[in-house]
Structure 1
Amino acid sequence: MKVSTTWLSEYIDLKGYTGEELAEQLTAHGIEVDSVLSTDELYGQESSLQETKDNILDLDLTPNRSDCLSIIGTAYEMGAVLGRYMDSNSLNRYNVSSYNYSPLNSFSVNNEAEQECKCYALALIENVQIGPSPLWIQHRLSALGVAPVNNVCDFANYIMLECGQPINIYDADQFSGAQIQIRFADEENIMTADGLKRTVDSTALLISDGRKPASIAGIANAADYEISPGTHRILIESAHFSGSVTRKTSRKLGLRNEKTVRFEKEINLEMILPALLRVSELIVAASPGAKLSGVSHWQYAPIEHKTIKVSQEKINRYLGTEISGEQIEAILKYLHFPFEIPENSVYLISVPKRRGILARRSISSRKSPDCTAMSIFLCLWYRALQHQEN
């Protein structure tokens, strides 16, 4: 995962640190940084591709740190490392209550696979003009290794990189009816956007218009539904697709991309609607005359929130440290992990959904603590070491 320090700084204050120093801090705290490149090195000092002077950190993420597969996720981690809070104004970009929108009445959804698609959201934008995206979007995508395509696709990729939620976009006029089906395949042939005919078996999840498949869910669009220069109505999809189903299908087809990587790791269900609203806002703002006609959101399973119960004594015994209660509370706040203290020196920690997939068992279990627990332990440990050194 490549991250831009300029982009990161919209969400967390990085003043006082060079790119190399930030890389050292992350690596010391368990997030390996393979390299640091300046945009001068990427493009040359006089290149017009530069937005501003920037540094690109190439993160080597372990499987349990999929929460850092986004700018915002990395910013949360950076805040915990540096002891700085996230910028609330920037986070409000993903606050659903800050958006005004009407329900989408022109399309309905028939979900035949509610366990494999627990949440599905759509937005319809009309009068879109397809063309190049604004230069600032092209700059940011190029710096992170994503080739610009057009204004619609580029904003979708931008949002995925920023918040971690994959966004898919269809040519709305290619849908034969008003109902979208989410179903498993039936040994069907699909011509994907790369021009190859692919056969999908009954383990593959499809998005269909009732006549034929519009996409292999979370993996690739059918060629007929792709955005073209003549597209004027777009249907934007933001959804949850099962990580195991996505992984199995993408491997069978030999199709793996930035979207599948994120679905395979299980995405944050709470980000599905906010990401859809933000990408819709950006597309409308960048396309004169474009209009958001409606947004709809279907939740097929409740969002479960995990909690971890751990005592100050257990933390210190496990780490071999003497962290005070005040230190523990400060670090949890930097991590943005809500917590309560139901009894003296015992913490009931709520795991945010962006990390919830890792919260599989309690720290108090006799077995080894899970990855989220280890993350808390390590953050507490490193912060304690810094405190002791100071």
Structure 2
Amino acid sequence: MKQHLIILGILLPLIAGAPKPQEKASSVTTGSIVEKHGYPFEEHEVQTSDGYILGLHRIPYSSRVKSEGPRPAVFLMHGLLCSSSDWVLLGPDYALGYRLADAGYDVWMGNARGNTYSKNHATLHPLLPSFWKFDWHEIGLYDLPAMIDYVLYETGQDQVHYFGHSQGTTSFLVLNSLNKKFKNRIKSAHLLAPVAFMDNMKSPLVKLAAPFMGDPKSWLNIFGNTQFMPNTKIMELLGQSACNDEAKYQSLCANAIFLMAGYDDENMNATLLPEILATTPAGASTNQIFHYLQEYNSGKFREFDEGKLLKKPKNYPIEKIDVPIYLYYSENDYMSSEVDVEKLMRKLKPSTLRGAHKVPHPKWNHLDYLWGLNINELVHDYIMENLKEINGE
């Protein structure tokens, strides 16, 4: 019972909602992480067509590798409640952001509206409910095009290689199923823990919440649009004190994460827990959560259901996607089940699906794609081979 209370104590600050005015964001940033490891770092701002101002981060080259001439651009998009820091937290030689830079790529890392680096708008303030009236549909329809077009303009290139994790895969599928013209800007897409269909997901938290929070006629009418799980200084301090290598209850910090992602003590980098909690969660809109819960309830990959009788949500026509796609999935992923990924495979055109890599480890979970031990041999080496294939090397 005591252990359950401690895990609850770790989870409660995560779901407490918007920070109070006196609360400060964590001092650990994507820029501080990258520069600590001696890599060059740039910050850019991009405004979407509906007014959101997004933080876009760049590792233009690797300080380890001399590269002449233009470097091919890659664009990395984080998952739900995450940020660009996910791609660099694991450090040089392991984090995908560094591995791609070391391989000679110009690395760009996006941040979705509402997260730590994208809380500005041309006319709306984050304290207004109207600022938070969006879900991952808008991230796919507005945020991704704005950021990718900016990358192409800045680099002078015609295409990027796209990498997405979790929600970063969902928003990619939204964009490319609804915008047929955008396919010409993507040379290849690498979807880690792809999330589209969700009716077979194993997460106990989702199963508990879906009957209530996934019902547009009840929960949405009560709570409306608001911020969910923002990044605060409290989480950084919690990670430093309760989740470091010397902490008595470090294993419980890991269990709180496993409860959401799937249990994998073999590949959990426990030493990284303070840094993870200093940067994650990075904030989102409640509607992003609600939309996923609706997907679980319906068993379909479709637009947000606002609960209006005369406006039924449309299915995303993913069978129309015409971009070279590589999928990376595992059997112990609580958020992206093997059955649901296989359903996605059947929906995609055979000519579109270039490869599907099932991680050869029975315990590999949803967050191991970002922070797991043995990530190179289990995931990243396959990514590098697929990049060589698509580049004709």
- Common fold: TM-score over 0.5: no
Q: Of the two, which has the highest radius of gyration?
A: 1
Would you tell me which structure has more strand in proportion to its own residues? 1
How would you bin the TM-score normalised by the shorter chain?
under 0.3
